[in-house]
Structure 1
Amino acid sequence: MMVPVALLLLGALTAAVGPRLLARADWTDREPVVALWVWQCVVAAVLLCCALSMTLSAAAAWQAVRGHVFATAPRGVADAYPLGTAGPWAAATALALAGAGLWSGAMLVREVLRARVGRRRRRAELLVRAPLLPGEEPTPGRLVVLEGERPDAWWLPGAAPQLIVTTSALRRLKGRQLDAVLAHEQGHAQARHDWLLHCSAALAGGFPQVPVFAAFRAEMHRLVELAADDMASRRHGRLTTALALVELNEDRGVFGPGPSPHAHVPQRVHRLLTAPDRLPARRRLRLTATAALVPVIPVLVALVPGLRAFG
């Protein structure tokens, strides 16, 4: 029963090494979309290691599970896995990992339900502040203008997603700056960044003692903003997008000497103004392909005894 143990060790190694390598990489801010993909592959590999280890441990502990796992396997494959020699720890490992998996699912459901309740509340408030005309139906993607003293703009996802901007933002944003802000919010919607944030928040909230999940959540919040900034800057220019960020956040104390909950905004503005060069297309493709192979490694480890049986 070395394969379940090897999978757990591989998952722990991936969880420890992956975030460190990404933290030392000098290209993540230059290619946030690629960095988002790499982070997802790392976390998927960790979760896959746990899921495969749970499956093999359960197969070692219970004959009924073993029959279902190897029901469609060719003859001789099940014999290649020394499942009958497993000790009493196999059942405990399988139950512990199954409980962790159920807890992760429960955390994700809680996060989604919480976000849905929040969207419903904000949508109800929106209808009060900007009611529909008689006979008017909510139009997906429509722009809603709200009276407001603070310049702000945000995307409200859901069945009928809406883009909201305040009148103060309309007064502050000049020229194509408004278009850049709208393109930024549309970038979030098109890439479904809300689901990335939900998944990362569920894992970090369910397992606060696991550093890789906390780092995953922090990086998702940062990288989705950089990716949306890039989409806006490609359409309307880096200077226009940077000026729009300054106009929206100038009155919030973001650029002052004291601490601010929006401390990442100055870094985003500096990044837009310094215009970092993108990676060559070959390197982007190489990074994407290499990251896609990371979740494949646990599958190969789990299949090694069966592949040897055919050899």
Structure 2
Amino acid sequence: MMVPAALLLLGALTAVLAPRLLARADWADREPVVALWVWQCVVAAVLLCCALSMTLSAAAAWQAVRGHVFGSAPRAVVEAYALGAAGPWAAATAVALACGGLWSAAMLVREVSRAHFRRRRRRAELLVRAPLLPGEEPTPGQLVVLEGERPDAWWLPGVAPRLVVTTAALRRLKGRRLDAVLAHEEGHAQARHDWLLHCSAALANGFPRVPVFAAFRAEMHHLVELAADDMASRRFGRLTTALALVELNEDRGVFGPSPAPQAHVQQRVHRLLAPPDRLTAARRLRLTAAAALVPVVPLLVAFVPALRVLGWGVFRE
């Protein structure tokens, strides 16, 4: 039975080659939303390869699983997969992949739990620093102003998400520049970037030696900021958004002689001031469609034996 092995090989090649190919692409920073979609499709393809290989290996190893997977399939289809010819490796492969899936789920639960704990702690601190009035209930999207000497703004997700800004930011940012910063944070919330960061962190922490997962986490942190910058700049202009970033971060040493810890802020400002040419709508559509087809490849590989049998039967009839 070669299909599970072919799926594992396809997943391994995708995990190794996809980050290298995407690193060479010159359009990712120009189209961060498309790049986010491409990365999600690539990671979904890798996970789908593992899930399909686990399912077919389990079907080959255990009759009970085979009955559930191929219960309504014609006998010719079952024979095409040569399930009875599988060696002892089928059970080991299924168990190993199942353990990997459980480990991934555990890492995601841990990441989400940690994020939930951090949100609860920050929400408790927020209530201490900005208590609600008697009878007042927190409303989703409510703007909260905190007394603070450091200019800052952030989005606090949760059941009742809030947009938080410090008084130092209000004093420093005026008019449209403040609106641009708030629009940037609202862009993160509307696109649910927090879930992308949670999933990428869970996979990278659970499988640190898998190149695609490590690159996925790094690119998510980079691309979500570019995407939020673009959302703000479309509403308030690139120059306004760039100046807002400068004023918000100038006291943090970002633009000094050694801006290494937060060099991405400087790169974001340069990108806003000298925007690269966007791809044409046709090319964006082609990239989006091509990325959507990447997870389809494992499905085609998994269903090749069945398609051959069914297609040949239809042709004979």
Shorter-chain TM range is over 0.9
- The aligned residue for residue 95 of structure 1 is 95
**Which structure 2 residues correspond to residues 23-102 of structure 1 after superposition, within 5 A?**
23-102=23-102
- The aligned residue for residue 156 of structure 1 is 156
What is the rounded CA distance, in whole Å, between the counterparts of 2:87 and 2:46 in structure 1? 24
Shift of 1:13: 1.0
Structure 1 residue 16 corresponds to structure 2 residue 13: no
Amino acid aligned to 2:151: P
Structure 1 residue 280 corresponds to structure 2 residue 296: no
Q: For residues 130-161 of structure 1, what are the alpha-carbon distances to aligned partners after superposition, in whole Å with 9 as ceiling and x for unaligned?
A: 00011111011010000001000000000000
What is the rounded CA distance, in whole Å, between the counterparts of 2:206 and 2:259 in structure 1? 28
What is the rounded CA distance, in whole Å, between the counterparts of 1:103 and 1:261 in structure 2? 32
Shift of 1:259: 4.5
Amino acid aligned to 2:29: D
Amino acid aligned to 1:149: E
Structure 1 residues not aligned, in runs of 5+: none
Q: For residues 8-38 of structure 1, what are the alpha-carbon distances to aligned partners after superposition, in whole Å with 9 as ceiling and x for unaligned?
A: 0100111112111111111100000000000
What is the rounded CA distance, in whole Å, between the counterparts of 1:207 and 1:273 in structure 2? 38
Structure 1 residue 7 corresponds to structure 2 residue 23: no
Structure 1 residue 215 corresponds to structure 2 residue 233: no
What is the rounded CA distance, in whole Å, between the counterparts of 1:137 and 1:273 in structure 2? 41
Q: For residues 266-299 of structure 1, what are the alpha-carbon distances to aligned partners after superposition, in whole Å with 9 as ceiling and x for unaligned?
A: 0000000002221110000000000000000000
What is the rounded CA distance, in whole Å, between the counterparts of 1:145 and 1:181 in structure 2? 14
Amino acid aligned to 1:78: V
Percent of pairs with identical residues: 85
- The aligned residue for residue 142 of structure 2 is 142
- The aligned residue for residue 105 of structure 1 is 105
- The aligned residue for residue 177 of structure 1 is 177
Q: For residues 46-105 of structure 1, what are the alpha-carbon distances to aligned partners after superposition, in whole Å with 9 as ceiling and x for unaligned?
A: 000000000111111111111111012234211110111111111111100000000000
- The aligned residue for residue 227 of structure 2 is 227
Q: For residues 158-215 of structure 1, what are the alpha-carbon distances to aligned partners after superposition, in whole Å with 9 as ceiling and x for unaligned?
A: 0000000000001111220000000000000000000000000000000111111000
CA contact (8 A) 1:232 1:241 kept: yes
What is the rounded CA distance, in whole Å, between the counterparts of 1:111 and 1:217 in structure 2? 13
Alignment RMSD (CA, Å): 0.8
2:261 aligned counterpart, secondary structure: coil
What is the rounded CA distance, in whole Å, between the counterparts of 2:157 and 2:256 in structure 1? 32
Q: For residues 232-287 of structure 1, what are the alpha-carbon distances to aligned partners after superposition, in whole Å with 9 as ceiling and x for unaligned?
A: 00000000000000011100011112254322000000000002221110000000
What is the rounded CA distance, in whole Å, between the counterparts of 1:77 and 1:256 in structure 2? 66
What is the rounded CA distance, in whole Å, between the counterparts of 1:98 and 1:304 in structure 2? 23
Provide the aligned length of Structure 1 versus Structure 2. Answer: 311
Amino acid aligned to 2:130: A
CA contact (8 A) 1:149 1:168 kept: yes
What is the rounded CA distance, in whole Å, between the counterparts of 2:61 and 2:78 in structure 1? 14
- The aligned residue for residue 247 of structure 1 is 247
Amino acid aligned to 2:245: L
Structure 1 residue 166 corresponds to structure 2 residue 166: yes
CA contact (8 A) 1:253 1:260 kept: no
- The aligned residue for residue 129 of structure 1 is 129
What is the rounded CA distance, in whole Å, between the counterparts of 2:292 and 2:45 in structure 1? 10
What is the rounded CA distance, in whole Å, between the counterparts of 2:152 and 2:259 in structure 1? 20
What is the rounded CA distance, in whole Å, between the counterparts of 1:154 and 1:260 in structure 2? 22
Greater Cα offset, 281-290 or 15-24: 15-24
What is the rounded CA distance, in whole Å, between the counterparts of 1:270 and 1:73 in structure 2? 58
- The aligned residue for residue 195 of structure 1 is 195
Structure 2 residues not aligned, in runs of 5+: 313-317
What is the rounded CA distance, in whole Å, between the counterparts of 2:237 and 2:72 in structure 1? 56
Query: Normalising to structure 1: TM-score of the pair?
Result: 0.99
Amino acid aligned to 2:110: R
Query: Normalising to structure 2: TM-score of the pair?
Result: 0.97
What is the rounded CA distance, in whole Å, between the counterparts of 2:274 and 2:74 in structure 1? 58
What is the rounded CA distance, in whole Å, between the counterparts of 2:53 and 2:32 in structure 1? 32
